[in-house]
Structure 1
Amino acid sequence: MPASDSIAADARPELSVVVPCFNESAVLDAFHARLAAVMARIGAPWEVIYVNDGSRDATLGVIEALAAADSHVGYVNLSRNFGKEIALTAGLDQVRASGAAIVIDADLQDPPELIAELVAAWRDGVDMAYARRRVRQGESFAKRATAAAFYRVMARLTDKVQIPVDSGDFRIISRRALDALLPLREHHRFMKGLFAWVGFSTREVLYDRAPRAGGTSSFNYWKLWNFALEGVTGFSVAPLKLATYLGLAVALFAMLFGGQLIARTLLYGNPVPGYPSIMAVVLFLGGVQLITLGVIGEYLGRIFNEAKRRPLYVVERVSPAGGAAAMNPPPRTLPPA
């Protein structure tokens, strides 16, 4: 690499690209080649921070080779797998950019070439420009339908935080928006909701999402369900309200049903009660109670995890772009006092 195209160890880049990685060794070389070409055309000083989230393949080795060949490359190696939302936070904690941070996945479903449009929106004065999917190639109908339903349900459940539909983490964030985001240290992280929560001016950039270029997705339907629970419980108390309304509705139904039984007994006598009807009522009421307790338990469990005040993640190694002299202060793994 020519010396003119490298970044000085003590210089702050204008743009930082954060890439969380989990078992992405098959695509990292191709991803970095496309990313470097895009950033070279943009022409601003830049760095990329790869976050190895406890990968079980050769991802760390590939990242180390990229760092040795390109002074723009830095990386964070976490001590184990903490999940994508935490890995993304670890990368954002290491951003040195004076201008903006860009978040993108390594699987090439989100095209690095779109970064130029995101940067153009940021230079127009927008604090956060996010990529919104027009087409989701390579995904089953069930996954597309459940994703569409999730975003629209979230839009109805959250009144004060409007989470953009059909969008992921792929976006650009201005320095001031990032500085507002970093102090949010909750453990149950739903980054799309946190991005929306900090506010500031936003703009969408449409694109067609491609299939994965290699490897396999770590998200299955069970993980997606739990991810949806994080989003709903992290940014809405609607499930608690729904449990309350459901309890009131059942109580009203029980009062009407009891009144009807009393009236029938006074008018027509009391025949021998049927076992099936008793079991149906008991099982129905028991089911409602268990659902309500489950909803309360989801929120209580989150309070329990937050009260322990454990760090969000543990870093095994940090190698900033430009060499060891560019080392940041220790990552912000503890919530503010």
Structure 2
Amino acid sequence: MDSYAATLARMSTLRGEVETHPETYRMLTGERPTGPLHLGHLFGSILERVNLQNLGVETFVVLADYQVITDRDTSANVKSNVREAIMDYVAAGIDPERTTIFTHSAVPALNQLLLPFLSLASDSELRRNPTVKAELAASERPLSGLLLTYPVHQAADILFCKGNLVPVGKDNLPHVEITRTIARRFNERYGEVFREPEAMLTHTPELPGLDGRKMSKSYGNAISLGMSADETAAVIRKAQTDSQRQITYEPVSRPGVSALLATTAVCTGAQPEDVASQVGDSGAGALKALATEAVTEFLSDHRERRRELEADPTVIDRILAEGNERANVIAEETLADVRSAMGMAY
């Protein structure tokens, strides 16, 4: 059985265990602050974090600012992207009192774990990682050492807090697998320090962008969570559809129409096929109007909470300062355990 099949088979049991004993789990998740968070982030990961947090799982969210430069030459806008992300987290229901929100660059002990961890992964294992392969294939840049070791950085993110639960989509499962490998090899070589984390496959399938491709700010096909209602309407209005009056859900042959149907469906709790039947032969204009209404209604509370946070920037300053402080305490404790196990506690 491959790792995806095995993980999928374990999901029902794992979710039951988490719901029954949430206090035994420590979750790590996060993203690179490369731009505004969008509707795909909200449904694909953020709402899952909120659910697990509310169950009572101890939660850590890293804004991996150091990892922004794995595939780009600038760190411009990182600081503002971090602040924007925190506003969206809190607006979506992440509670800074129960969830530690922190940045890579502010936690030196986490990054120091990279050194011993690098000795536990081979060059071939790193080059087989799908993210490394995909980024290298999509770029004309030479492979940097930072990009090559990206999976080990993610292992450090998870293991710095001795996390044992990582919500991921299918494509990111290999990152958890290499983290488990590094934890296991460290324990075998130096003694028990780390738990092998488990992957929790997220419920929501990937939400397509408005053109049917993967939702991405670089494609200009995303509905950002920080958009106003008018900005959202403008983005949806510009979405490419086709000339057919009858609206049908056919992702391959009608990607633009199907993306609007999927967006409307996820915001209303319906199925895309049912939304298509509702619009019928009223055409793309009616579909766009329905999609705009659905997104605007769904995000109305989020946007209101976000406006409140924008009105007092000191709230974000405090959340990040407190999160970084908590993360540093835990990272120092873990690094001390690592040094002790390796015989390097002086």
Q: TM-score, normalised by structure 1?
A: 0.31
Q: Which has the higher helix share?
A: 2
Q: Which has the higher strand share?
A: 1
The structure with higher relative contact order (CA 8 Å, sep 6+) is 1
Q: TM-score, normalised by structure 2?
A: 0.30
Q: Determine which structure has more spread, i.e. the larger CA radius of gyration.
A: 1
